[in-house]
Structure 1
Amino acid sequence: MLDGRLRLVQPRKGHRAGSDAVLLAAACGEVAAETVADFGAGVGAVGLMVAARHPACRVVLVENDPGLAALARRNVALNGFEDRMEVCEANILAPATVRRKAGLAAGSAGLVVTNPPFWPAGRVRTSPDAGRRAAHVMADEALEGWLRAAADMLAPDGRLVLIHRVDGLAWLLAALAGRFGDIAVRPVYSAPDRPAVRLLVAARRGSRAPMRLLPGLVLSGADGRFTPEADAVHRGTASVAMG
C-alpha cells in the first residue's frame, strides 16, 4: 500500500483493506505529535497508513477480534512502528468502565479515525465468513454508541474522521448531534457520471460551527483509470482535503 511504502498481512479470506481505508487515512489532514485512535482497526491498515504519512504521531489500533488484533501486531512490527504504535483489544460498544479497563482512557486522543461496519443487518446479504460479516454489518442504532465512544476518547476540540455509506447520512448526522460540530462532508464518486458511493466525514468534538458540504472526489475517469487526484491519494503523495 502507499506505492509500496507500507506492507500489510491480511487474512486469505474475509474482509480485506482497499480504497475505503486509503481514502480515510488520506482525509485526516495534518496530524501533529498527538495520539490517533483507529476504531475497528482490523489488521491495522488505516492506522498504519496514518503512521506512515505522519511520523510525529502515536497510533492506537483498537480491535475486538483477537485474530485480527494478532495480525495488526504483526503488521506494526513488519513496518517497524513498534515504538509509536500499539494494539488495544477492546469492544468499542462496551460500557465506558469496560473500555477504560481495556485501555481506552477518556480524553486521551487528539484524533479518532474509523471505518465502522456500516451496512445494517437485513439490508445486505451477510457473508458466511465471520470476519467479513463483523467488518461490514452493524445496526444503524449501534452507530450512536460507536460515536459516543469516540467522543469519550477524544480530548476537547479533538477531531473525528470517518467513512460511511451515502444512504446512512441521516443516521450519521443524528449520531453526531450534541457531541460534534464543524462537520464536513465530502462525497466520493466512482466516476464523474455516477452517484456518490461513499462519504468522507470530519467533525470536531464540542464545536458549534455549522456543517459544510465539500466538493466531491472522483476516483476514476471515463477510461476507468484513477483520476490524477485519486492516483496521488492511493500512492500516498496527496491528501483528501476536509477543511
Structure 2
Amino acid sequence: MEKAKRPPRGTRKRDVPLTEAGIYAAALQLIDADGVEALTMRKLATVLDANPMSLYHHVPNKDALLRGVARMVGAQFRTVTLEDSPWQERIRLLATDFRTLAHRHPKLMAYSFGQPDFIQSEDPFWAALTATLDSAGVPHAEVPQIAAVMCAVVIGVLTAELNGALHQWSNLTPPAPAARENRPPDTDAGPDGDRMFRLVLDTIITGLESRLTADRDGQRAGQ
C-alpha cells in the first residue's frame, strides 16, 4: 500500500477558512498589543495558524491590511441620531464619540491620523458631521471645507493627547514674570483630559456660532 504523502509544512488546512474580517480582527489585536510597527504578515499568519502566503489572497500588502483594519474600526463609530437636539449638542456628541473610539484603539488611531485618506466620504463620522453642519445653517458649498477644518482640529488635538504632547504643553508656564504672578494657583496635579477636550469643543462651537451670526447679519444688511 502506498504511503500517503505529508503536505508541505505550513500548508495544512485550517479548521476555519480565512476571511478578510478574521484577518482584520486578528491584526487589530496585534496592533492593540504591540503597535503598528510590530505588525508583520508573518506574525499575523502565526496568530491565524495559516500559511503566510495565503494571507495575500485576501490583502495584497501591509498597507492594504492597515487600511482595512482602519475601516473596520471606523465602522464601529456610533452615528448621531439626535436630530431634534441643537446642532451644538450634536457636534459635542460626535466629537466625544470619536475621541472614545481613539482611546479604545490608541495605537491604531495614532497611526491612522497621519494618513491623508483616513477619512472618506462614506464614513459614518463624516456623514454625520456634514449633515449636522448643513442643519446648523452652514451654506451648502462651505460644508465640506468647514467639516475638513473641524476634523483637522479634532484629529490634531487627539494626536497630541494620545502621544502625551497635549498634557505637556498645557503645563508650560507663561514666560512673562507678570503673567506668572497673576496666574491663579494650581488646584490639581495637571489639566484633566476630559476638561481639555471640552475646551477644544467650546472653542470650535463658539467660532462657528460667531461665523453663522455674522453671515446672517450680513444677509439682513444686504436686504
TM over 0.5: no
- The TM-score, its normalising length taken from structure 1, stands at 0.21
Bigger fraction of residues in strand: 1
Compare CA radii of gyration and give the structure with the larger one. 2
- The TM-score, its normalising length taken from structure 2, stands at 0.22
Bigger fraction of residues in helix: 2
